[in-house]
Chains A and B, each alone.
Chain A
Amino acid sequence: MIWVLLISFFKMIMMKARAAKAIEYNSVPEKEIPADLYKKHFRRPIELPFFKDERSVTNILLGGLSSTHDRLIAAALSNLGLKAKALPPTNLSAFELGREYGNNGYCNPTYFTVGNLIGYLRELEKKGLSKSEIIKKYAFLTAGCNAPCRFGLMEIEYRMALKDAGYAGFRVLVFKKEDGLNQPVRGLGIEINPTFFLAIINAINMADILTGFTNSIRPREVSQGQTEQVKEEATLILKDVLRNKKELKLNAKWSKIFDYLGIKKVAFFIYTFYDQLTNKENVLALSEIATLFSKVEMDPFRSNTIVKITGELWAGSTEGEGNFSMHNFLESEGAIILVEPVATYIQFMLHKHLLRHTDHQEMILQEKIGHWWQIVQRVENWVNYKKKLWILKVGIKLYRREFARLLKALGGNNHMIIEQNELEKLAHDYYNTHIEGGEGYMEVAKNIYYHKKHKCHMVLSLKPFGCMPSTQSDGVQAAVVEHHKNMIFLPVETSGEGKTNAHNRVLMALEDAREKAKLELNKAYSSTSYSIKELKIYVNRHPELKIPGYCCPHREGVAGKTANFIYHVDELMTTAS
Chain B
Amino acid sequence: MTPKNLNLGIDVGSTTVKAVAIDPVSNKIVWKDYQRHETKQAEKVLEFLIELKNKYPAIADTNYKVYMTGSGGMGLSSYLGAKFVQEVTAVCAAAEKLHPDVGTVIDLGGQDSKIIIFKEEPGTTRKKKSPSMNDKCAGGTGAVIDKISAKLNISPNDLCESEYDGLRLHHVAGKCGVFAETDINGLQKQGVPTNELMASLYEAIVLQNLTVLTRGHTIRPKVLLLGGPNSYIKGLKQAWQKNIVQIWKDRDYPLPDVKDPKSLISAPENALYFAAIGAIEYGLEDEQHSDKYQGWHELEYYINEGRLTTQTDAQPGLFSSEKDLEDFMQRYPRELFKEAKFKPKEKIQGFIGLDVGSTSTKAVLLSLKKEVLIKSYQLSKGNPIDDTKKVLGELLTKVEDQGASLEILGLVTTGYAKDILKDVLKADAAIVETVAHTESALHYYKNVDVICDVGGQDIKIMLLKDGKVKDFKLNTQCSAGNGYFLQSTANDFGIPVEQYAETAFKAIKSPTFGYGCAVFLQSDIVSFQRRGWQREEILAGLAKVLPKNIWLYVAQIPNFSKLGLNFILQGGTQYNLAAVKAQVDFIESRFRGKEEEPNIIVHKHCGESGAIGAALEAFRIWDNGRASTFIGLESTCKIHYSSTTNESTRCLFCKNKCLRTFIDIEIGSNGAKINGNGLSTTSRRFIVGNSCEKGSVEQVEDMRGIKKKLEKDLQSTPNLIDESNKELFKSLGLKNQGDAIPKWIYSSKVRARSVAMEARSKLRIGIPRVLLMYSLAPLFQGYFESLGIKKGNIIYSDYTTENLYKTGCKRGSIDPCYPAKVCLPHIHNLVYKQNKRSPLDIIFTPMVCDLKSKLINTSGNWICPAVVAASESVKAAFKKEEDIFAKEGIEYFNTFLNLAEPKQFEIQMFRQFRKVFGLSREENKRAVESGYTALEKYQQNNSERARDVIEGLEKDQKIGIVMLGRPYHNDPGINHDIFTEFQKLGYPILTQDTLPTDDFTLNKLFGEEVAAGIISHPMDISDVWKNSLSTNVNTKLWAAKFVARHPNLVAVEISNFKCGHDAPTYNVIEGIVETSGTPYFSFKDIDENKPTGSNNLRIETIDYFLKRYRAEMIKNSLPLPQELMAADVS
Residue A279 is within 8 A (CB to CB) of chain B in the complex: no
A486 with B816: in contact, given A33-B1014, A157-B1064 (CB under 8 Å)? no
In the complex, which residues 382-434 of chain A have their Cβ closer than 8 Å to any Cβ of chain B? 430-432, 434
The answer to whether A436 and B872 touch across the interface, beta carbons within 8 angstroms, is: no
State A436–B849 Cα separation when bound (angstroms): 8
Contacts from A to B (Cβ < 8 Å): 23, 26-29, 31, 33-34, 37-38, 40-44, 92, 95-96, 99-101, 103-107, 144, 146-150, 152-153, 155-157, 160, 164-165, 359-360, 362-363, 366, 430-432, 434-438, 466-469, 471-483, 485-486, 492-493, 495-498, 500-505, 507-512
A479 with B876: in contact, given A33-B1014, A106-B1063, A486-B128 (CB under 8 Å)? yes
Interface centre among B136, B215, B527 (most CB of A within 10 A): B136
The answer to whether B86 and A507 touch across the interface, beta carbons within 8 angstroms, is: yes
Chain B window 936-977, contacts with chain A (Cβ cutoff 8 Å), 1 for yes, 0 for no? 000000000000000000000000000000000000000000
Chain B window 849-888, contacts with chain A (Cβ cutoff 8 Å), 1 for yes, 0 for no? 1000000010110111110111011111101110000000
Contacting residue for A41 out of B71, B121, B879, B1044, CB 8 A: B1044
A505 with B133: in contact, given A468-B865, A482-B880 (CB under 8 Å)? yes
The answer to whether A469 and B869 touch across the interface, beta carbons within 8 angstroms, is: yes
Contacting residue for A468 out of B514, B559, B816, B1016, CB 8 A: B816
Min CB distance A463 to B, Å, is 11
Selecting from B416-424, B567-575, B722-730, B1026-1034, the interface stretch reads B1026-1034
Residue B1045 is within 8 A (CB to CB) of chain A in the complex: yes
Selecting from B168-176, B447-455, B746-754, B899-907, the interface stretch reads B899-907
The answer to whether A504 and B133 touch across the interface, beta carbons within 8 angstroms, is: yes
Min CB distance A202 to B, Å, is 28
Residue B563 is within 8 A (CB to CB) of chain A in the complex: no
The answer to whether A33 and B1013 touch across the interface, beta carbons within 8 angstroms, is: yes
The answer to whether A37 and B1027 touch across the interface, beta carbons within 8 angstroms, is: no
Min CB distance A78 to B, Å, is 29
The answer to whether B862 and A148 touch across the interface, beta carbons within 8 angstroms, is: yes
The answer to whether A38 and B136 touch across the interface, beta carbons within 8 angstroms, is: no
Residue B1068 is within 8 A (CB to CB) of chain A in the complex: yes
Residues of A within 8 A of B130 (CB): 481
A498 with B877: in contact, given A37-B1009, A105-B1062, A472-B870 (CB under 8 Å)? no
Chain B residue total in the interface (Cβ 8 A): 103
The answer to whether B872 and A475 touch across the interface, beta carbons within 8 angstroms, is: yes
Residue B1008 is within 8 A (CB to CB) of chain A in the complex: yes
Q: 5 additional contacts, CB 8 Å, given A107-B1060, A146-B1027, A472-B870?
A: A29-B1014, A41-B1041, A105-B1060, A497-B516, A497-B524
A485 with B1076: in contact, given A147-B1029, A505-B135 (CB under 8 Å)? no
State A504–B86 Cα separation when bound (angstroms): 7
Contacting residue for B880 out of A27, A469, A479, CB 8 A: A479
Residues of B within 8 A of A496 (CB): 514
The answer to whether B901 and A504 touch across the interface, beta carbons within 8 angstroms, is: no
The answer to whether A504 and B71 touch across the interface, beta carbons within 8 angstroms, is: yes
Min CB distance B328 to A, Å, is 24
Min CB distance A31 to B, Å, is 6
Residue B632 is within 8 A (CB to CB) of chain A in the complex: no
The answer to whether A472 and B865 touch across the interface, beta carbons within 8 angstroms, is: yes
The answer to whether A42 and B1068 touch across the interface, beta carbons within 8 angstroms, is: yes
Residues of A within 8 A of B134 (CB): 501
Closest to A366 in B: B903
A473 with B1024: in contact, given A148-B862, A152-B1029, A434-B849 (CB under 8 Å)? no
Contacting residue for A472 out of B71, B131, B514, B873, CB 8 A: B873
Chain B window 104-137, contacts with chain A (Cβ cutoff 8 Å), 1 for yes, 0 for no? 0000000010000000010000001111011110
A498 with B520: in contact, given A26-B1016, A504-B86 (CB under 8 Å)? yes
Min CB distance B748 to A, Å, is 25
Min CB distance B584 to A, Å, is 18
Residue B523 is within 8 A (CB to CB) of chain A in the complex: yes
In the complex, which residues 1012-1054 of chain B have their Cβ closer than 8 Å to any Cβ of chain A? 1012-1014, 1016, 1020, 1022-1027, 1029-1030, 1041, 1044-1045
Min CB distance A250 to B, Å, is 35
The answer to whether B865 and A479 touch across the interface, beta carbons within 8 angstroms, is: no
Min CB distance B955 to A, Å, is 25
The answer to whether B814 and A503 touch across the interface, beta carbons within 8 angstroms, is: no
Residues of A within 8 A of B498 (CB): none
The answer to whether A153 and B907 touch across the interface, beta carbons within 8 angstroms, is: no
Min CB distance B871 to A, Å, is 9
The answer to whether A501 and B71 touch across the interface, beta carbons within 8 angstroms, is: yes
Closest to A506 in B: B86
Min CB distance A389 to B, Å, is 17
Residues of A within 8 A of B1012 (CB): 33-34, 37-38
Chain B window 567-611, contacts with chain A (Cβ cutoff 8 Å), 1 for yes, 0 for no? 000000000000000000000000000000000000000000000
Closest to B1045 in A: A41
A471 with B514: in contact, given A105-B1059, A508-B133 (CB under 8 Å)? no
State A123–B86 Cα separation when bound (angstroms): 41
Residue B304 is within 8 A (CB to CB) of chain A in the complex: no
Residues of A within 8 A of B865 (CB): 148-149, 435-438, 468-469, 472
Residue B896 is within 8 A (CB to CB) of chain A in the complex: yes
The answer to whether B1008 and A493 touch across the interface, beta carbons within 8 angstroms, is: no
The answer to whether B1060 and A468 touch across the interface, beta carbons within 8 angstroms, is: yes
State A149–B548 Cα separation when bound (angstroms): 29
State A486–B1026 Cα separation when bound (angstroms): 47
Residues of A within 8 A of B1013 (CB): 29, 31, 33
Residue B820 is within 8 A (CB to CB) of chain A in the complex: yes
State A156–B89 Cα separation when bound (angstroms): 44
Residue B271 is within 8 A (CB to CB) of chain A in the complex: no
27 CB contacts below 8 A, A to B, read: A26-B1016, A38-B1014, A42-B1068, A95-B514, A103-B556, A105-B1062, A149-B865, A156-B1025, A160-B1068, A431-B872, A435-B868, A435-B896, A437-B865, A438-B865, A466-B1060, A467-B1060, A468-B1061, A471-B866, A472-B869, A474-B813, A475-B812, A479-B880, A482-B217, A482-B881, A495-B136, A498-B135, A511-B85
The answer to whether A23 and B1029 touch across the interface, beta carbons within 8 angstroms, is: no
A472 with B866: in contact, given A41-B1075, A43-B1024 (CB under 8 Å)? yes
The answer to whether A492 and B86 touch across the interface, beta carbons within 8 angstroms, is: no
Contacting residue for B86 out of A164, A479, A508, CB 8 A: A508
The answer to whether A148 and B872 touch across the interface, beta carbons within 8 angstroms, is: no
A485 with B121: in contact, given A41-B1041, A435-B847 (CB under 8 Å)? yes
Closest to A43 in B: B1023
Residues of A within 8 A of B812 (CB): 475
The answer to whether A500 and B514 touch across the interface, beta carbons within 8 angstroms, is: no
Min CB distance B749 to A, Å, is 20
The answer to whether B89 and A42 touch across the interface, beta carbons within 8 angstroms, is: no
Residue B1071 is within 8 A (CB to CB) of chain A in the complex: yes
Interface centre among B552, B862, B876 (most CB of A within 10 A): B876
State A28–B552 Cα separation when bound (angstroms): 31
The answer to whether A100 and B520 touch across the interface, beta carbons within 8 angstroms, is: no
Closest to A431 in B: B872
The answer to whether A148 and B877 touch across the interface, beta carbons within 8 angstroms, is: no
The answer to whether B907 and A363 touch across the interface, beta carbons within 8 angstroms, is: yes
Residues of B within 8 A of A23 (CB): 857
The answer to whether A27 and B857 touch across the interface, beta carbons within 8 angstroms, is: yes
State A148–B862 Cα separation when bound (angstroms): 6
5 tightest A-B CB contacts, nearest first: A105-B1063, A475-B873, A498-B136, A148-B862, A437-B865
The answer to whether B129 and A96 touch across the interface, beta carbons within 8 angstroms, is: no
Interface centre among B130, B134, B515, B1012 (most CB of A within 10 A): B1012
Residues of B within 8 A of A431 (CB): 869, 872
Residues of B within 8 A of A38 (CB): 1012, 1014
Residue B1058 is within 8 A (CB to CB) of chain A in the complex: yes
The answer to whether A100 and B857 touch across the interface, beta carbons within 8 angstroms, is: no
Residues of B within 8 A of A362 (CB): 907
Residues of A within 8 A of B1074 (CB): 42
Chain B window 1066-1080, contacts with chain A (Cβ cutoff 8 Å), 1 for yes, 0 for no? 111001101110000
State A495–B864 Cα separation when bound (angstroms): 21
Residues of A within 8 A of B876 (CB): 430, 475-480
